[in-house]
Amino acid sequence: MKVEGGCHCGMVRFEAYVDGPEVEVLDCDCDICRMSGYLHLILPDDKFKLVEGQRDTTAYRFGTGRARHIFCTQCGIKSFYRPRSHPDGISIHWHCLDEGHGLAAKIVKFDGAYPV
């Protein structure tokens, strides 16, 4: 099933292909996710396409530097990123999907603060 989304100002837009209608959404307890309210819809890399905004993003890394947090340079929203926990995938922010996407979230707690 194809879904679309993006940042607040619309400069960054993506499309993704998910197995729906119910999807697992991770609620991570690490500092950056907790502070921003980020909810992860993790997809394989080949199920994600950045449609607009390739030149309108900036990246932020911290800690191990493995995660690549990607923000819109205009509005500052992180609508997707490459997570440390799933380095071969993309994490889409559940709240950045366009309204009316038709998916149902099964929220699962994820220990990102103290990974094993």
* Position 116 pLDDT exceeds 60: no
List CB contacts of 14: < 8 A, sequence separation 6 or more.
4, 5, 6, 48, 49, 50, 51, 79, 80, 92
Report, as an integer, the average pLDDT of 45-74.
Answer: 95
Domains of the chain, start order:
2-110 (2.170.150.70)
Determine the pLDDT at residue 32. 92
Determine the pLDDT at residue 106. 98
- Say how far apart CA 11 and CA 30 lie, in whole Å: 27
Residues 17-27 have pLDDT tens digits of 999 899 999 99
In the chain, % of residues over pLDDT 70: 98
* Position 114 pLDDT exceeds 80: no
Closest CA to 93 of 33, 11, 21: 33
Residues 66-110 have pLDDT tens digits of 889 999 999 999 999 999 888 899 999 999 999 999 999 999 999
- State whether residue 99 is helix, strand or coil: coil
Q: Residue for token digits 């009316």?
A: 100
pLDDT band at 112 (very low <50, low <70, confident <90, very high): confident
Determine the pLDDT at residue 113. 80
Determine the pLDDT at residue 115. 62
